[in-house]
Structure 1
Amino acid sequence: MASTALIIGATGGFGSEMAAALRNYGWQVRAMHRKPKAAARQLADMPFIDWIKGDAMNAADVKAAAVNADVIVHAVNPPGYRNWGGTVVPMIDNTIAAAKASGAGILFPGTVYNFGPDAFPLLAETSPQHPKTRKGALRVEMERRLRAASEEGVKVLILRAGDFFGGCHAGNNWFAQGLVKPGKPVRAVTYPGPHHVGHQWAYLPDMAETAARLLARADDLADFETFHFGGHWLEQGIEMADAIRAAARRPDVPVKRLPWFALTLLSPFVETFREMREMRYLWKKPVRLDNTKLVAFLGREPHTPLDIAVRQSLAALGCPGADDLYSEEESLSLTRLTKGTIQ
């Protein structure tokens, strides 16, 4: 019988890509959502998902949704960075309790938030975690609870990555919310950091494929396992803006600075701006996840060339004219991506 995955946060960027990747590997995919009918319409390109009504903040809902699941993909986050303090720890506790009850493992997408400047610039899985931000401290606490759960019989897999971009349903990230404007032609690119500072990006279809391959070798993993995903490391961070301009065939559009000063002024009144501002330090210094362990385990890391990844990302965001940028072969690849079947 096929293994079953419960995805919490399936309408988000990583969750939706995990649904597609796991389906490709023969998994049965189940997803929990407070409004399952609306979620099914949002992910109409993924009719294979079995939707269950439930709230990640409700322990009984998560426990019920996880019955007979082999793995729980914990991909849920507060929208727009809002109310991290009141939601992320209770939600991970509910997932852990459900995993204990059902015998399922847990897949958790990690970030660089856990680490402080003492661990920069190159981060190994074992680098010290001394975060300087509130979200970083919350991430450390979530992973601490996951490690404790692994000592009580729950298999845990953490895959840490840089800033997300790409995929068919990824809107809550820096690429889609900060660098470009979804649904509009690329007339300018906004870049948040100094142009010369390196930055790491995780193309979500590649990250999800990596996670699926790791799960396929679950028997070879320790009870608590952490890997770093390399993704796209850009030695000069501005290379992402250049890639966007090249993908849009608009090499002369201006690259604008993110108005951090305005975000600072508005942060007392707009929670999303306040949460975004807390992450500014990650744009000021190069912070790179070392994927040596991952490559040694899998043999290689799935990797879509940056130009193709950016073109597909712009097309998925509905930037007018993006569909015209593809050759016939690339158009077919994008079609497979949007149908959730690309590998």
Structure 2
Amino acid sequence: MTESSTVLILGARGRFGLAATRAFAQAGWRVFAQLRPGASGPVIPGVVWLAAQPGDTARLAAAAPGAAVVVQGLSPVYTHTAWRRDLPGLTQAAIDVARELGALLMLPASVYNFGETMPPLLREDTAQAASTFKGRLRIASEAQVRAATQDGRMKAVVIRGGDFFGSGSGSWLDEVMVKDIRRGKFTYPGPMNVPTAWAWLPDMARSFVAVAGQRHQLPAFETLHFAGYSLTGQDWDDALTDIAWERGWLPAGGRLRTRSLSWLMMRALGLVLPKIAALCEMRYQWRAPHTLVNTCMAALTGAEPHTPFPEALRAVLAELGLLTSRKEIPAEKLTVARQAFERGAS
């Protein structure tokens, strides 16, 4: 390995951090993966786990000599209090170690910055008009990083993706949408016909590797978009129905029992559960159609990593342990069932 193929990943046991750790290691990079003292990480060839606090700059820089890239996988827990208290410090911790190493700092980002008036197509230069507490904090965090690049000691790139899913639990997909899928039920948080942006984390992490490989072409600060998938609730319903037929969770030709998430109940729960209150603030994202445009990313790296959606969905359900018992219906019966389903929907 050369010094130019060494990366330090902060928050490597989080959902995005672990996806990035795996993606860089699979691409042949030497990976130093930070986790908090007392935690442990899986055995991954090419990965050295570092037990250190995020703000221990000297220890991290000394333990990852020659790292040309720092990936910021650190994130507060999902409450307003935690974000207000922790996000600026976690951002500064990533800045400090990147400056110490003279490295490129890479940050995953969300569509929170654009707010509820966001247009259907989101480009890198789309005006940011955050309408939520977390959106405003995200804008401030990215500005904090941009300011740190002005003296030439580090570069930084923000890569923005849609709603994250995959690489562990803790997303809308596993906590709400497919919670009762084995019983033939599908819950969706918004209108079924509104397209929204989604990012399967293993693909998004591979895009980080591709951008890191082109880091010498980047300006001091850059923002790129990872397009991922643009999906409606009906797209999810169709793909999950196919899997439900295959697994025997539905009779061939049957339909999932689709229901809407009760936001009234969510708001009531939010009165006592801060995490639910924070989620309720983001309801607008399910009602505002939006797609991320990745023109700048494609110009830099070529076509972004893009696993076909049904394949990514099966991988996520397998990872969640939902595909452990197998009771498949023969393929010819599935074809007949799909034809009947499509006739009924037309």
TM norm structure 2: 0.85
Q: Map of 1:66-145 to 2, 5 A cutoff?
A: 67-81=65-79, 83-145=82-144
CA contact (8 A) 2:227 2:293 kept: yes
Structure 1 CA distance for aligned equivalents of residues 325 and 225 of structure 2:
31
Identity of aligned residues (%): 35
Shift of 1:8: 1.2
User: Higher RCO, 1 or 2 (CA under 8 Å, sep at least 6)?
Assistant: 1
Q: Aligned residue pairs: how many?
A: 319
Q: 1:256 to 1:321 in 2, by over 3 A?
A: farther
SS in 1 for 2:313: helix
Unaligned runs of 5+ in 2: 331-346
2:25 matched to which residue of 1?
A: 23
> Which moved further from structure 2: 77-86 or 217-226?
77-86
Amino acid at match of 1:88: L
Per the alignment, do residues 229 and 58 of structure 1 end up closer, same or farther by CA in structure 2, a change over 3 Å counting?
Answer: same
Task: Check conservation: 2:29, 2:46, Cα contact below 8 A.
Answer: no
Larger-gyration structure (1/2): 2
* Structure 1 gap ranges (5+): 328-343
TM-score (norm 1): 0.86
Distance 1:99 1:92, change over 3 A: same
Report whether the alignment pairs 1:194 with 2:191: yes
Quick one: distance in 2 between partners of 1:209 and 1:245? 28
CA distance in structure 1 between the aligned counterparts of 2:109 and 2:47, rounded to whole angstroms: 24
Give the alignment partner of residue 247 of structure 1, picking from 224, 243, 246: 243
Change in CA separation of 1:143 and 1:181 when aligned onto 2, cut-off 3 Å: same
Shift of 1:297: 2.4
The residue type paired with residue 302 of structure 1 is P
Instruction: For 2:300 and 2:14, locate their aligned partners in 1 and report how far apart those are by CA, in whole Å.
Output: 28
Higher mean C-alpha displacement, 3-12 vs 66-75: 66-75
Q: What is aligned with 2:306?
A: 303
Q: Secondary structure at the match of 2:34?
A: strand
Structure 1 residues 61 and 88 mapped into 2: Cα distance closer, same or farther (>3 Å)? farther
Between the aligned partners of 1:211 and 1:49, the Cα distance in structure 2 is 17
CA RMSD of the aligned region, Å? 2.3
Q: CA offsets per residue over residues 38-88 of structure 1, 9 Å max, x none?
A: 422xx24x2532111222255566555555322111012123456111111
Match of residue 174, structure 1, among 172, 175, 182: 172
* Residue 165 of structure 1: aligned partner: 165
149-158 or 310-319, larger mean C-alpha shift? 149-158
Distance 1:39 1:179 in 2: 30
1:155-174 deviation line (CA, Å, top 9, x unaligned)? 1111100011123xx21221
Structure 2 Cα separation of the partners of residues 325 and 156 of structure 1: 47
Quote the offset at 1:136 in angstroms: 0.2
Contact 1:197 1:284 in 2 (8 A): yes
1:282-316 per-residue CA deviation (whole Å, 9 max, x = no partner) reads: 01111221112222222212111111111111001
Q: Which residue number in structure 1 is paired with residue 217 of structure 2?
A: 220
